[in-house]
Structure 1
Amino acid sequence: MISEGKITIDLGQDGTVQLRSNRRVDVGKLLTGRHPDEALTLLPMIFSLCGQAHVAAARQALAYPGSKAEARTLALAVLAENAREHLLRIALGWRVDEVANDMPLHDLAALVVGMKAAAGDERAERIAAGQLSELLATCVFGSAPEEFLEVSTATSFQGWIAQSQSSAAKFIAKVCRNGWHDLGSAPTHYLPDLSPHLLTARLLEPSYTQAPDWLGQPRETGPLARQHAHPLVAALISKYGTGLLARLAARLIDLAKIPAQMRQTTAISAGGPGFGIVETARGRLIHTAKLQGGAIVDYRILAPTEWNFHPEGAAVQALGALPQGPDWAEKAGVLVQAIDPCVDFEVRAA
């Protein structure tokens, strides 16, 4: 595994936000000259958080042959990986008075392995999806995920917060008590469907993977971009803007949908020869590849963090909307966790 880097965010006394990242964005160079089989073996070793998603994107970009059963196994593994990453963010970041979350971390770590072992056996797949539903009901929603998806208004969401005894609900109750509903609300530009031809051309630009844009505008990808049209998230955006509460709700909606996606084996990757896209927990992952004589001669990877933590992107805009005060750094930290970079970060307030 390579060093994954760090994001440093400086909040200036004049309200400016400066974001610096030393994340490696040239990892594709490690695959140049290699055979696709070797690249697919290396990718989950290089990327510790979303290894299955990287393999899925690479298989599309490399036009790698495989059976329907193999594709189904990988799709289920990516969905399990997405659930794990959402749950880890909730377990490690959604705390009240620094009290540890009661999430069973061992069970989270086993989600991907368990789903891959179940793949190919319909009964085992149903059991694995059911176990995830039970975990979500016990530790996150206080009821079946399908029931949570029926929460559709700000009022019914407040009712869920009041009734649920889960650590997730208690954290959101804290957010509401603190008056952080609209924390970091700022104009948001979601990442649209992309033209593979145009994006592949843009990725050849030397600095594009460090600071990507689309049509001259930094874009946001991830739970809020995917779920902004869900009735609950739309209602919260209408009332509070694209602030902290809408972002937390979007993550919950994203998570609640995963068991059903597993049962339906919802497609999570797209693309074709030279281009692969996978929706990960943090947002859209993009791979492009060029082969010659059976070997990789060019490989590019564009991860969600580069979109969301662009120097002028969603995180910087949200942080720039924060009011200054004694708890400025604390609010900024909570907001950065909600947007969720795939590397460590540090917030420094002047």
Structure 2
Amino acid sequence: MIGTILLRGGQAGQPWQVQTHNVVDAGLLCAGLPPEQALALIGRVFGLCRVAHMAASARAMGLAGHAMPDHARMQDEILQDHALALLVTLPAQLSLPPQRESLCRVLQDRQAGRAIAGELTGTNVSLAHMNAQAFEAWLATGQTENGAFLPRLLNCCRSALQGVGAAVGMAGLTPQAVQARLAHERGQPVPAMAYDASIWPDYAHYPVMQALAEAGEVTPFARLVARLLEFLACLEGHVGGMFARVNPFLASLGAGFGVARAARGILVHAVQVRNGLVTDYQILSPTFWHMAEGGLFRQAISRLRPGCAKLSVECVLAALNPCVPVTVEATHHA
């Protein structure tokens, strides 16, 4: 998705409202171009998740030389997205010292990934496989200034998110949902858009996530922990399962479709080419699904407690991780 999001309201008991502005359909920009030029255009207009977009685009258009996705570059892109949020952006918002030196090490010294992960978490034990008691014990190590950085960060996030609401549980995105949405473009009834296209379905089965889920609802804090787990998986090179998520989509959707795993979840490009020119180009990004009526982002914001502090809203946004800038207007600093 290309555009901006504005959050308004949240005062005097009034619900939050979501508005979109300057939305551009990048697929329309590709119409009438040869596939090679369309691919180059996709690479220029998408700054975030650029590698994933180009991989999905090339596969959808069947371009020679792009048949195999470059998982190493995708992993780098995903790692960078989560690292920037966890080590610089969120700390600055929470009045913690940004970890710029650690960020540089994460991005430049991949051979030291496991050691860096241990330094940042303060443990060599897998967070994903912790039960509720073990995870609470790990969080407790971050309650002092001498604790490792990531448990300190997560403690601050949990405090900021206490009682804010915005929990949403919905089914993960499926190939069938993608096909139904594209069929609507050909004049059929509007399908449901309430699917979770984020990274959450890749981590929902882990013990720590099952401990954090609340009666089938996924809290913003749980979604932040999912980002943490993915950051650590990329840092330590354990990403096979993450990229395997696209396989059912590729098997079901067939020619004319490209699917990639991006930092925000599942990304789909659907392209029709006739006589050497693109005649139809559709991009179904995670934010496309989540910003639809009844989508994950809109549902989460509709359940966000009115009057909560701007800091809490920023933590919710970090958990939802939309791919466009979000402006928060007229909030109380509770």
* Alignment TM-score > 0.5, same fold: yes
Q: 1:15 to 1:265 in 2, by over 3 A?
A: closer
Root mean square deviation of aligned Cα: 3.1
Secondary structure in 2 matching 1:330: helix
For 1:161, the equivalent position in structure 2 comes to 139
| Deviation at residue 247 of structure 1 after TM alignment | 1.3
For 1:138, the equivalent position in structure 2 comes to 119
| Deviation at residue 205 of structure 1 after TM alignment | 6.2
Q: Separation in 1 of the partners of 2:156 and 2:65?
A: 48
For 1:24, the equivalent position in structure 2 comes to 23
Judge conservation of contact 1:6–1:344 (CA < 8 Å) in 2: yes
| Deviation at residue 301 of structure 1 after TM alignment | 0.9
For 1:242, the equivalent position in structure 2 comes to 218
Secondary structure in 2 matching 1:71: coil
Q: 1:269 to 1:27 in 2, by over 3 A?
A: same
For 2:14, the equivalent position in structure 1 comes to 15
For 1:123, the equivalent position in structure 2 comes to none
Secondary structure in 1 matching 2:42: helix
Q: 1:330 to 1:199 in 2, by over 3 A?
A: same
For 2:277, the equivalent position in structure 1 comes to 295
Please list, as runs of the form range in 1=range in 2, the aligned pairs for 1:202-217 lying within 5 A after superposition. Answer: 202-204=184-186, 215-217=191-193
Q: 1:150 to 1:292 in 2, by over 3 A?
A: same
TM-score normalized with structure 2 length: 0.82
Residue identity opposite 1:142 in structure 2:
G
| Deviation at residue 345 of structure 1 after TM alignment | 0.8
Which of the residues 73, 77, 87 maps onto 1:77?
A: 73
The total of aligned residue pairs comes to 317
Secondary structure in 1 matching 2:64: coil
Q: Separation in 2 of the partners of 1:88 and 1:60?
A: 28
Secondary structure in 2 matching 1:9: strand
Which string of whole-angstrom CA distances, capped at 9 and with x for unpartnered residues, describes residues 61-90 of structure 1? 1122337xx725x12111211111111121
Q: Does residue 150 in structure 1 map to residue 134 in structure 2? A: no
TM-score normalized with structure 1 length: 0.78
Judge conservation of contact 2:198–2:266 (CA < 8 Å) in 1: yes
- Percent of residue pairs identical: 23
For 2:54, the equivalent position in structure 1 comes to 55
Please list, as runs of the form range in 1=range in 2, the aligned pairs for 1:111-260 lying within 5 A after superposition. Answer: 128=110, 130-139=111-120, 141-144=121-124, 147-151=126-130, 153-163=131-141, 165-177=147-159, 180-181=161-162, 183-195=164-176, 197-204=179-186, 215-238=191-214, 241-258=217-234, 259-260=236-237
For 1:304, the equivalent position in structure 2 comes to 286
| Deviation at residue 198 of structure 1 after TM alignment | 3.1
Residue identity opposite 1:223 in structure 2:
I
Secondary structure in 2 matching 1:10: strand
| Deviation at residue 269 of structure 1 after TM alignment | 4.6
Q: Separation in 1 of the partners of 2:22 and 2:112?
A: 35
Residue identity opposite 1:218 in structure 2:
A
Q: Separation in 2 of the partners of 1:36 and 1:87?
A: 33
Judge conservation of contact 1:15–1:320 (CA < 8 Å) in 2: no
Judge conservation of contact 2:8–2:17 (CA < 8 Å) in 1: yes
Judge conservation of contact 2:4–2:326 (CA < 8 Å) in 1: yes
Q: Separation in 1 of the partners of 2:317 and 2:240?
A: 32
Q: Separation in 1 of the partners of 2:293 and 2:87?
A: 28
Which string of whole-angstrom CA distances, capped at 9 and with x for unpartnered residues, describes residues 108-133 of structure 1? 6x56xxxxxxxxxxxxxxx84x3443
| Deviation at residue 199 of structure 1 after TM alignment | 3.5
| Deviation at residue 253 of structure 1 after TM alignment | 1.9
Q: Separation in 2 of the partners of 1:205 and 1:173?
A: 49
Q: 1:6 to 1:192 in 2, by over 3 A?
A: closer
Secondary structure in 1 matching 2:311: helix
Judge conservation of contact 1:278–1:286 (CA < 8 Å) in 2: yes
Q: Separation in 2 of the partners of 1:305 and 1:265?
A: 19
Which string of whole-angstrom CA distances, capped at 9 and with x for unpartnered residues, describes residues 130-149 of structure 1? 3443443333x2345x7333
For 2:89, the equivalent position in structure 1 comes to 93
Q: Which runs of 5+ in 2 are unaligned?
A: none
Larger mean Cα displacement after TM superposition, 221-230 or 50-59:
221-230
Q: Separation in 1 of the partners of 2:19 and 2:172?
A: 22
Secondary structure in 2 matching 1:189: coil
